[in-house]
Chain A
């Protein structure tokens, strides 16, 4: 069975601060995908990134960066110079057998960025 843990239920920061959202996963499979999604108040999950289990390179996309460490089963997400528009619920998810459509999600971290 797979499990995703997002220990931080809520995080509040002031605009322009950096913030890191933690994600720890459990799986016995050697081939899997890891994802981050953003869910604004409207409810629609917005895909942010996919990482293949064989690719441990970190990735940067604008103010977003992701740190994947298989040794600690973690896939953390950092927002640099946060903005009010970053306020949302962020979910980490895991899927095995290269099937993104059967993902196991964490319970999310609610990020509030104050002006």
Chain B
């Protein structure tokens, strides 16, 4: 158990819809990262939030956006869903200490299917 939770566990949407995925970080962790894992591939970095501000972004379009809240929870929003957005979405929390983030702890993920 990493203390990181995600909801929902599974989700089915249709193309063009919008979706919000939620993550609750480990208590005290000021940083959250989101990853997309397509079937048979490794996780790909979407973006990171540190103290409620975006702190880096991977190669994902602007329709992928996020929020981080003071209570260690965060959201990943995806607009205008496409079939290729079907994947496992993982969040990971970490503690930034003097600029170092040595270890991240993953949640169980949300499996999104876009039809």
Please report B residues at the A interface, Cβ cutoff 8 Å.
2, 31-33, 35, 40-45, 48, 56, 58, 88, 90, 92, 94, 99-109, 111
Q: Kindly list the 4 A-B residue pairs having the minimum CB-CB distance in the complex, ordered from nearest.
A: A105-B42, A101-B33, A45-B106, A44-B108
| Interface size range on A against B | 20 to 34
Within 8 A of B (CB), among A56-115: 91, 93, 98-108
Task: Report whether over half of chain B's contact residues are helix, strand or loop; otherwise say mixed.
Answer: strand
A42 to chain B: closest residue by CB: B108
State the Cβ distance, A106 to closest chain B Cβ, in Å: 5
Which residues of A are at the interface with B, using a C-beta cutoff of 8 A? 4, 33, 37, 42-47, 50, 91, 93, 98-108
CB pairs A–B below 8 angstroms (13 shown): A37-B106, A43-B108, A43-B111, A44-B107, A47-B105, A47-B106, A50-B103, A93-B42, A98-B102, A100-B102, A102-B56, A103-B104, A105-B35
Q: Which chain A positions have C-beta within 8 A of B100?
A: 98-99
